Amino acid sequence: MKDILISSAIQISLVLILVLFFYFITCRKKNGFFNWIGLFLPKNKRWIISSIIVFIVSLVVMVGALILFQSLGYITSEIFYDKTISGQGLGISTVIIILVKAIVQTSMSEEILFRGLIGKRIANKFGYLAGNITQSILFCLPHGLPFVITRKEYILGITLIITTGIVGYLLFWLNEKKADGSLIPSILLHSIMNISSFMIKRIS
């Protein structure tokens, strides 16, 4: 557990250092860093219903595709094995590991980097569509390419590239169009999806 806590702290720290670096060299706006990156509560409640819709669509896209390919024999449960939590009981240490990995190491880090830094900056300069497409592409590649390049799992890799790209696009749309540019909705949804994923890995 100690290694997970350390690696998560290092990862979120590196992301924040990178984001702060860009903030200070590009524009130190009067409304501050947190507004610039999107770490504030949405000003309205329109995002709640939209979040539920995005969550359902994301589940169908991600889980549906994986279940289909697993039923066809292209994907095995061993591919998703996570040695830090697989087969362990749901004790306090396992819960802490799941929450830290799901929320801090992945959700917060990725949302701040992709939807916050990359998506917002490109959208501000070249328009919303350019920002959304760019961040979704950069978001999906690290999720699928490792399976293609290192493990030769082409079906799984391509599937993850497509599905995570769609989810990344929807999360940016949710933030920018329904939540006043806040990252909170995408962080919440991303965290819930990751916690669910790690729970499945725990029992596999």
Note if the pTM is more than 0.85.
yes
pLDDT of residue 81: 55
pLDDT of residue 20: 93
Residue 161 CB-density burial (10 A; 0-12 exposed, 13-18 middle, 19+ buried): buried
pLDDT of residue 85: 58
Average pLDDT over residues 61-83: 70
pLDDT tens for each residue of 160-189: 999 999 999 999 999 999 999 999 999 999
pLDDT-derived band at 4 (thresholds 50, 70, 90) equals confident
Average pLDDT over residues 50-70: 87
Q: Is the dihedral of CA 31, 27, 130, 53 positive or negative?
A: negative
Alpha-carbon span 169 to 177, nearest angstrom: 12
Cβ-based neighbours of 181, under 8 Å, separated by 6 or more: 38, 120, 175
pLDDT of residue 28: 64
